[in-house]
A = this chain, B = another copy of it.
Amino acid sequence: MIGIDWGSSGFRAYRLSDDGSIRERRTATSGIASLTPTDYAAVLQQQIGDWLRDDPAAVVLLSGMVGSRQGWREAAYAECPAGMAELTTQLCPVELGDNRLAHIVPGLSCRNADGTPDVMRGEETQIFGLDLPAQATLCMPGTHSKHVQMRDGRITGFATAMTGEVFALLKSHGLIAAMLAPADSKPEDLDMAAFETGLGLSGQPGGLLHHIFSVRTRRLFNELSAGAAAHYLSGILIGHELRATAWAGKVVIVGTGGLAMRYRKAFAFLGIDTDVAPEDAAATGLYRLGQLAARRMP
């Protein structure tokens, strides 16, 4: 089968063996933010036309923002609690040409404890690619971080925090942007002391809207270097994100590289144990959902 994780800013395709192992992978920057609905079939042909021709009967499964209102075609949101079964009964077909269909995995929705609705697209497929204990708590860092509750193989609830987006906004626009050294925010070059100072501040009184102003004042009084400022700001934001959730037990961090490392360190600072999930969870999730869907397809 062929699995594709197609998000706002990227395209990741996996050619999968019958046993779920990855035979080949291709990535492109053709995210849905740069496409209109009529572009998708052509982009697919351009990226993996040879895979499609090689295997005319292959199941093709898509996950991520490709199924959003701004994507190829809007797929439903399955409601929590939901497992793989709820997703594969609501697959959304799209035309590849020659009467061949691909299917988009639905997103997930839930109602938060605060009364607001919440949504995810793509993360559900990553989650079903993991091997988790019966009861698990996940943290999926990103532009829009997800905190997810799992029980018996089903997602029972989740909440989104716009940490990554607010960090990007503050880094690029407005008062604080001028206080940060331009190249000091690569997640892998973490200034641990500044990051932990920010994490510590997030536990103090005053609130997030007040704490972020200290990036300016600490720069003004030379208590913070330009190089350390973005790491300090990151600590403030991630600290506020994580402290707003009541974590129970060990947390599984689903993510890769410097950002996952940064969250792991933040959890450790708060005294919470973590594991980091293996990479390619999306490919495994697409494979498992594809296997289940194939059994249901005519």
Identify the A interface with B (CB < 8 A): 69, 109, 112-119, 144, 159-163, 165-166, 168-170, 172-175, 201, 204-214, 216-218, 220-221, 223, 237, 240-241, 243-246
A-B contact pairs, 12 of them (CB 8 A): A113-B204, A114-B204, A114-B206, A116-B211, A117-B220, A118-B214, A160-B213, A162-B210, A169-B173, A169-B174, A206-B245, A207-B243
- Known contacts A159-B206, A207-B244; can you find 5 more A-B pairs with CB under 8 A? A112-B206, A119-B217, A160-B217, A206-B244, A207-B208
Number of copies: 2
Q: A170 — which chain B residues lie within 8 A by C-beta?
A: 169
Chain B hits for A245, CB < 8 A: 206-207
Query: If A166-B209, A169-B170, A207-B241 touch, does A217 touch B118 (CB 8 Å cutoff)?
Result: yes
Decide: A205 near B116, CB < 8 A? Known: A162-B212, A174-B165, A210-B159.
no
Please tell me if the beta carbons of A114 and B160 are within 8 angstroms of each other in the complex.
no
Report A134 CB to chain B, min CB distance, Å: 25
Check if A201 sits within 8 Å of B115, measured CB to CB: yes
Contact B209 A208 (CB under 8 A): yes
- Using Cβ atoms and an 8 Å threshold, which residues of chain B touch A173? 169, 172-173
Chain B residues with CB under 8 A of A214: 112, 114, 116-118
